[in-house]
Amino acid sequence: MSEPTFSIVITAYQAAETIAAAVDSALAQTLPADEVLVVDDGSTDDLAAALRPYEGRIRVIRRENGGGAAARNTGAEAARGDFMAVLDADDAYHPRRLETIAELARQRPELDLITTDARLVVGGEGVGTFATHTPFVADHQRTAIFETCFVGGWPAIRLSRLEAIGGFDESFRIAYDWDCWLRAILSGAEVGFSAEPFYDYVLHEGSLSASRAPSLWERARLLEKAARNPNLRESERPALERALRMHRSRAVMADVQDSLYAATPRRRLARHALSRQLELRARETALLAAAAPPLARRLVRQDRPAEERLSTNGGRG
């Protein structure tokens, strides 16, 4: 078999301050990529100037701002490799990442998604790894992907598979990667993994302190979409329904946190309390927060900041 080829695709929006580190890491691979592409998703900062030193070594594609999914689709359409290796503009590859992914691709040519573990970085310091928090699942991947995005957000994906499933769903603003991997797996893709933490995933204070509710509701929405997927087997539907109930319940608990500690409106909580699509504990907690906030605050502790949780338990959440 011929050697697999790789296009590293870096999507960037307002990333003038971080893009150089990402591009440098892509160009410093022990196994060079066939090409490095940067998709400028309508940035209004001086991203062009930050990329100027790399002229002749990378390709830059500029488009109107459309969000992360649209930028990745643009990169996939332009990529010429067998695989698109994902890299975000504020993250970085370790030098052997592409070599490691390529070796897995050679050993297991049936793989359509290949990834490595990632180092979680807060304030320039490593605070654990992604797989410690979200362990990779080697078996029963078709149903495991309902519960957790064990693939992470930065695999290399075979472009023929990505094209076959229709690319990234641009209606998702947050969970488009999880939705994409789920659809790929249901269509027959297998995922391979190296335990080496060869990707630096940078967590920013703004994202760490932001409400978790929008992200959690996006997860529920992608599972609702999965329930309509023609590749879903009937034997897999109970696992999907259990995962959907769990993710809806987690989203409701995040809504409760926002209501009690961020002074967001409580209007939705009463509706959650009546939903049969939630775990009983989530319904009871929503009812209590809607009816008696002072009592609810005594029983529902405020979540610790994400950076504190990561720093004290090595990334276990």
pLDDT score for 309: 58
Has residue 144 got a pLDDT over 60?
yes
Do 20 and 50 meet the contact criterion of CB atoms below 8 Å apart?
yes
Where does the pLDDT of residue 97 fall: very low under 50, low under 70, confident under 90, or very high at 90 and above? very high
Q: Give the domain ranges of the chain.
A: 6-203, 211-303
Percent of the chain whose predicted confidence (pLDDT) is above 70: 93
Distances in whole angstroms, Cα of residue 290 to Cα of each of 38, 278, 284, 297: 47, 16, 10, 11
Is pLDDT larger for residue 310 or for residue 190? 190
Q: What's the rounded mean pLDDT across residues 70-90?
A: 98
Cα–Cα distance for residue pair 130/199, rounded to 1 Å: 10
pLDDT score for 263: 74
Distances in whole angstroms, Cα of residue 75 to Cα of each of 101, 162, 215, 230: 19, 12, 24, 27
Has residue 286 got a pLDDT over 80?
yes
Q: What's the rounded mean pLDDT across residues 25-45?
A: 98
pLDDT score for 1: 58
Where does the pLDDT of residue 271 fall: very low under 50, low under 70, confident under 90, or very high at 90 and above? confident
Burial (CB count <10 Å: 0-12, 13-18, 19+), residue 163: exposed
**Is the entire prediction scored with pTM above 0.75?**
yes
Has residue 15 got a pLDDT over 60?
yes
Cα–Cα distance for residue pair 125/225, rounded to 1 Å: 37
Is pLDDT larger for residue 123 or for residue 117? 117
Q: Which of 16, 66, 11, 69 is nearest to 40 (CA)?
A: 11
Has residue 273 got a pLDDT over 90?
no
Where does the pLDDT of residue 284 fall: very low under 50, low under 70, confident under 90, or very high at 90 and above? very high
pLDDT score for 10: 98
Calculate the average pLDDT of the chain.
93
Q: Quote the CATH superfamily of domain 6-203.
A: Spore Coat Polysaccharide Biosynthesis Protein SpsA; Chain A (3.90.550.10)
